[in-house]
Structure 1
């Protein structure tokens, strides 16, 4: 018990010293960025609620519906899995084990914290805004579409993964660019799959990207702070 108290005290003092040493400008910019994304999310909802975007959302869903076929259905169902709950849980566990093995327990905890946080806010906002899916409920407890959970998780998780790789692994600029394009394209395809499958409107996807951006910024700030 005494050993744990001493460890806790050392960690507390270490965090305190790190906070004083950390550039306050970075904290300010991150806070401003998070505030902007939240404001943009709520602004987007006001636009949707006044039907200013609803007709475009419905038009796009109807256009995409005409393109559906068995081959594309299988393709986009497969892509959608890259941001499904089961896949992300497994991916997180593998990432956490890797980070812990590399003596980066704090990074693993940050990923866990922000992943759980993003999941909570997806649930909160979906129930708060209560926007119906384009073609009705997926299940008895899965009827709401705004913001898109898959878009949120994809934007946050793969953005966070990109941040971890580029921060702790020395890569040439061209490889960083290739990695950014690969993750970006994957996020785009996951988002596109949700529209194609009729689970979301375009504005749901945009809302998901905004919310995912919030937790990406939070994770980036915490990683930068603890590993400065």
Structure 2
């Protein structure tokens, strides 16, 4: 009994605040994603989507000039921008001798893009018919929201880990959220698509970080043998 208690205390000692926080975030995002799939594909409820569209339509009616800016903002998670950023930014980090960071950022964008397409093809939800900016492809989950969270969330994490820049990290996360909201504003995605994209992007980021951490530990173990 004493040995068991000592092992449990040792295990609890490994559970840092960061690990507990990340674990809670992962569980919350995972549960949220599957809750949204139930709302959309099992209950067929459009209450949240209709409410979000109504609020965005009221905002657009109040500030009609806002649409021009929203169209510009949404570009920063578009396929051309993400493709260029997903190649150029990791390339710059690699040139700066930050190869681990370059790999993490590249995999964050690439992996989330592939996973997003797999999820869209699986759920096969059509886009809203009221879109102000017609676009091809499927709707659930939002690629702008999911890949945007992966890109800007990964960049925020790297800034926090290396420079302890909480303000810049918070701004990047806020930026990713704003871009997701532009998709609802433009009616190219339902609110449930965007929320599911946020959740899936966060889940992917945490899984990627955990996998890379295990790989780094394995590399250190092999180099010390």
Structure 1 residue 151, shift from structure 2 partner: 0.6
Aligned to 2:223: none
CA offsets, 1:54-110, max 9 Å, x none? 123123213423443652111101111111111122222232122212223233223
Trace 1:21-100 onto structure 2 (pairs within 5 A): 34=26, 37-51=29-43, 53-68=45-60, 71-100=65-94
Give the alignment's TM-score, normalised by structure 1. 0.73
Contact 2:157–2:169 (Cα < 8 Å) also in 1: no
Unpaired runs of 5+ in structure 2? Answer: 1-12, 221-225
Q: SS in structure 2 opposite 1:135?
A: coil
Find the aligned partners of 1:129 and 1:86 in 2 and give their Cα distance: 24
2:144 aligned with 1:150? yes
CA RMSD of the aligned region, Å? 3.0
Q: Name the residue aligned to 1:103.
A: 97
Correspondence for 1:217 among 190, 206, 210: 206
Change (3 A) 1:135 1:67: farther
Structure 1 stretches lacking a partner, 5+ long: 1-22
Q: How many residues align?
A: 198
Alignment counterpart, residue 186 of structure 1, candidates 161, 175, 186: 175
User: 3-state SS of the aligned residue for 2:140?
Assistant: coil
1:163 to 157, 165, 170: 157
**TM-score, length basis structure 2:** 0.74
Distance in 2, matches of 1:158 and 1:194, equals 17
